[in-house]
Structure 1
């Protein structure tokens, strides 16, 4: 490369060996004593140009190789086609060739054409079937359905079409409706459906008095009276009168009715009172002789066990006192 040169010691030794006051040579010049970094900067354009030329030469060589390869491929294809044409044109029995070998040679030579024709035929059949299926789908018929289902679908489709046509014929057309609107606008006649206005203002809805629904099951009398007083206050009626009416209605509703739980509680209370009264009036029954004997034995056993425990505690306390002394 142009910026490459010998190291400084070699150049100094060479200069010393050559001597001094020599005529300038071809290699001496402006870059003889310049540092390498400065030489690279000043000769950068030259180095880049050389690199570009090298890349262009490599690219050109690759293109030439590619064109040569393509030419060879075309030449080979042409040669094979020519050989096939020659073979096709020369499909005649050779002298001394057996008929079996000739038939095999003919089949081998025509295998590609037979395969291509078979593929084209099958492809045409497949395309025809696809076109038929597309037509059936466009008509609203399932191509994969059974023939009976197809007939049923066709009948249902015709029935729907007839029904839609009859409905369309019975309804007034757009032109008829337009004429009716024009006649109403001209004569000023208002139909019955236009008399009642369906428009409701927000203020009317907001200021409308509240409507209290039926009281829920199990509501107390206090809640009912509170609601009645509120309703009377809103409507401007007497609150006391409303409360009195609610209480009267509650009394009338509860008249002659006793809840089952209350009745059961009352019945149980009365039964317990009756049992207590009966037990208080009767005298306590005396136990039998056998019962008295058993009770006496149990009493004696309890007294004996108590005395044993007491004696044991006394002995333990005496032993402790003796040890302390």
Structure 2
């Protein structure tokens, strides 16, 4: 089956027999249209010359006519915009009232916003003009002597500068105090006695002045104290009895062990 490509020699022989003077097809490169980008590049010089001629004509005598033409064009554009707005604001066939109201609000929003901004600017300008007029009237009504008197009274009424505030912690040491001891501190030293606090901390002076026990003794009454003492004595007595009982049981067990050893 001739499903494979023919040899090169066969293909060249067929090309020679057919010849090369056949007419090009419709899809040839000569019939392909030129792209716009390429046409702009090729016709750039021509476009530039046309623009220069047009500009020269406007500069020579068509300046006034050009301005009039611009004004007429602007007026026509404004009329077109108004006509477009009025055409937009009409309800379309098949459009609901809700959608029509929304479209109207969207179209009128920039106009309302511009009107609000202009009105705010007018109000601010009027308020500023009123303030300036009032200030000018005040300046014109006051004489020069009154200004001098005001300056003198202001200088007199000024309070003296406040004195330096005394610092409460001026007498106290700002850094940690260092106490020199005869015995040098070494690593892994063992304390032979608990530390002695010669100066009690804050809040401990009142508790020490109340007497032994501090604030807790004031909470208990005399009857409660007696009950606590009785319970304490009872607990001590029970503990002693338990210890004596254990001692007796231990002695009996020792005697049994000795008797067993003697029999052996």
State the TM-score bracket (shorter-chain normalisation).
under 0.3
TM-score (norm 2): 0.26
Greater C-alpha radius of gyration: 1
Relative contact order (C-alpha < 8 Å, sep 6+): which is higher?
Answer: 1
More helix as a share of residues: 1
